[in-house]
Structures are given as structure tokens and as C-alpha cells.
Amino acid sequence: MRNKLIQYGWIGVIRMICYYINTKLFFRKSSLIRLPIDIRGKKFIDFGKSLTTGKGCRIEAYPYQINDKVLFFGNNVELNDYVHITAMKGIFIGDNVLMASKIYISDCTHGFYEGNRMDSSPEQAPNERKYNLASVHIGNNVWIGESVSILPGVTIGDGSIIGANSVVTRSIPANSIAVGIPAKIVKNYNLKNKTWEKV
């Protein structure tokens, strides 16, 4: 208790107790859900075990053409403040994933922009354009830095790290460090030598 008082102060400790009670009433398998939180489509979300969230998170699931879960958290996932996750087709988050604050993850966009006949017209209102859907997979033991955006169709392999402020538009293999806009691999972990090596 003394350590918690030093870390949070009396008001912080009281607030944490309220969060804990709310968590055990409404999210029994989770560790701690901080308030406020905005959860939309709760029945379409699998929260896994021991989920922890920061305040101000927005987690939403809107299945498109199906009536089943589309957002899956693994075990021991930690989200910091103001993480925004939107799932329509499938977002799969592995075990022991750590996310910093202000992260955006989505498996959907308004419209198509690939340079072919399927492309959406700029003369059409964005919210009237057909959804472009592609599942997102985040592996086990992934660490995602502050203000990262992860776009549809991306897979992030086990053990990888995404640097702060990166925009992930393409898949990242396991045991890699990726940074930038768009995110590019700058280091790989050498399993034999047990060291991170520059690419």
C-alpha cells in the first residue's frame, strides 16, 4: 500500500480502487480498466485475460457482413491512454502486447485508392464510399510506441517493436524494430548471437 501511495497519492489510490471495482463488475477477466473508456460493440470483442487499459481508450467492433466477434485480445495485453482500435473484419492482438498512448489500429478504411477500376471517386462523400477491409494481426510480445498508426492488412510478427510516431502500412516480420512514415525495418534480432543488428 505504501508503494501505491508514493506512486499515485491518496486520490490516485481511491481512483484505482474505483477502477478495480468497476473492472471486476463488468470485465471480470481483465486486470484493470481505467475510466473513462468508450467501448462500442462489446459483444463482438474477446477481451482475453488480464487486459489493462489506460484512460480515454476507444475500442469499437462493428462486424461487416458477419455477426460474430471481430476484435480479439490475447492475454496480458496492456494499453496506455487514448488508444483507439476499430475492427470490422478482424483484428487479432497476441499475448503480452504492450501499447503506449495515442495509438490507432484499424482494419478498415472508407474507399479504395489502389490505382485501378475499383478506386473510389473524390466526388463521392467519404462516408458514402464502400469500406475497404483487411485484417490486422499483431503477434506475441510486441511493443508499440507512442502515437503509432497501424493500417489495414498489416501483420506485425512476434517480438517486434514499432517506434514512436510510426505509420505501419506494410507487414513487419518477427523480431524486428521498425520506425518511420511509412515504417521501415532498422534492426533485426539475431537469435543466435542474442543481439539487435542494424539492417
137 in catalytic set = no
Choosing from 110, 129, 137, 187, the catalytic residue is: 110
In the 3-class helix/strand/coil scheme, how is the chain assigned residue by residue?
CHHHHHHHHHHHHHHHHHHHHHHHHHCCCCCEECCCEEEECHHHEECCCCCEECCCEEEEECCCCCCCCCEEECCCCEECCCCEEEECCCEEECCCCEECCCCEEECEEECCCCCCCCCCCCCCCHHHCCEEECCEEECCCCEECCCCEECCCCEECCCCEECCCCEECCCECCCEEEECCCCEEEEEEECCCCEEEEC
**Residues labelled as active-site residues:** 110
